Amino acid sequence: MKITNIYTKILKAPLKKPFITSLRHVDALEDLVIIIECDDGTLGYGEGVPTPQITGETMGSMVAYITLVKPHIIGKSIKEFDRLIKLIHTLTVKNTTAKSALEIALYDLKAKSKKVPLYQMLGGTQTKFTTDITISMDETDKMIAASHNAVILGYDTLKIKIGDNLKKDLERICAIHNALDKNIKLRLDANQGWSAKESVKLLHNLEKQGIIAEFIEQPVAADDIEGLKYIKERVQTPLLADESIFSLNDAHKLLEMQAIDYINIKLAKTAGITQALKLADLSKSFGVKCMIGCMLEGPISVAAGVHVASAKADIITMIDLDAVSLLASHPAKTNIQFNESTITLSKDFGVGVKF
């Protein structure tokens, strides 16, 4: 299987409702799909979404990266897989989402060449997973209504977006907690919206009321490493790092400092599957569990995350891969079952999604 062409397409999809966090407001999905074509007609599919507020990438920068890398890959055989992966990561720094999309396409091709689903190639066996659902930041009554609707749809774990106003955040969390059955788990995500002292103040207030979320995700700025440690040393609620961890070095520093309880692995941050697998292994060496998460993206990249979750099911114990469920529709073709809270991988070779 020799690579003969690389080209891109835009995947557009409507959302069921706007996606709102302390960092951004999104009304529709627009992703970059990368397609690698081989001389035998086999196609490898990858995908990434520009999220400039988090990764610094735009659609233009992602396309520019692919244009730069393309001549270095065309003509190579998929048998040179390790060399190709190294090329992706050494030709430029940063560009983590674009690198991830290209990696996913290469992993898709490699698994197809071996005639196995990607999760099997990576050593995984689990095919069925349960994800949470994101409750976008809004007025309290609307967030309660969205939470009730999610429970009706079968979700037992909700990720509550907060972080724009400490007083309103406390009101939202308490109201949602009081409105739901106690078997419904809450995850809190402030998306860098608070200071360390504000985080401790709010979490102490919740804890005094007996409200201890499954975790609080990235309450402080991504570069506020000391802030994370300050919070962890003062609250009962487990602390999960998201935007603070892109690289293995980022993770190693936080793990050495004992500044966090959990790590959120996202392919768009780790620059693809290769580093995501290594990050899971690093976390395991410190006895720290992981969550696999996603940006607001389509079924190709979300499916790739599920395959990684299968490969590292012993350490990736939390799933936050709800992006496909947030879409009203999408044009991709797949036998993977995205059934609200339940995601079931297919036996199709590779990632299992076409576009």
Domain extent listing, the chain: 3-115, 120-354
Q: Which amino acid is at 70?
A: K
Distance (Å, rounded) from C-alpha 165 to C-alpha 350? Answer: 44
pLDDT of residue 333: 98
CB 301 within 8 A of CB 48: yes
Burial 131-157 (b: 16+ CB within 10 A, else e): bbbbbbbbebeebbebbeebbeeebeb
SS3 74: coil
SS3 206: helix
Choosing from 232, 266, 269, 312, the catalytic residue is 266
Q: Considering only CA atoms, which of 296, 269, 319, 267 is closest in space to residue 18?
A: 296
In angstroms, the Cα distances linking 2 to 35, 135, 145, 349 are: 14, 44, 52, 18
In angstroms, the Cα distances linking 51 to 11, 26, 273, 302, 316 are: 15, 10, 18, 15, 24
Show the tokens assigned to 180: 């739901």
Choosing from 99, 161, 232, 312, the catalytic residue is 161
SS3 301: helix
Catalytic site residue 115? Answer: no
251 DSSP 8-state letter: H
**Which CATH architecture is the domain 120-354 placed in?**
Alpha-Beta Barrel (3.20)
CB 270 within 8 A of CB 298: no
Instruction: Count Cβ atoms within 10 A of the Cβ of residue 91 and give its class: 0-12 exposed, 13-18 middle, 19 or more buried.
Output: middle
CB 172 within 8 A of CB 140: yes
Distance (Å, rounded) from C-alpha 188 to C-alpha 131? Answer: 15
- Element (DSSP H or E) covering residue 8: strand 3-20
Adjacency order of strands within the sheet including 316-320? 133-135, 157-161, 185-189, 215-217, 239-241, 262-265, 290-293, 316-320
User: What are the DSSP calls for 97-158, one per residue?
Assistant: HHHHHHHHHHHHHHHHHHTSBHHHHTT----EEE--EEE----HHHHHHHHHHHHHTT-SEE
Catalytic site residue 266? Answer: yes
- The residues of the chain scoring below 70 in pLDDT are none
CB 311 within 8 A of CB 277: yes
CATH of 3-115, one of 3.10.310.30, 3.30.390.10, 3.40.50.720, 3.90.1150.10: 3.30.390.10
Show the tokens assigned to 122: 């990576």
Distance (Å, rounded) from C-alpha 300 to C-alpha 354? Answer: 8
Distance (Å, rounded) from C-alpha 40 to C-alpha 195? Answer: 55
Q: Considering only CA atoms, which of 276, 187, 195 is closest in space to residue 240?
A: 187
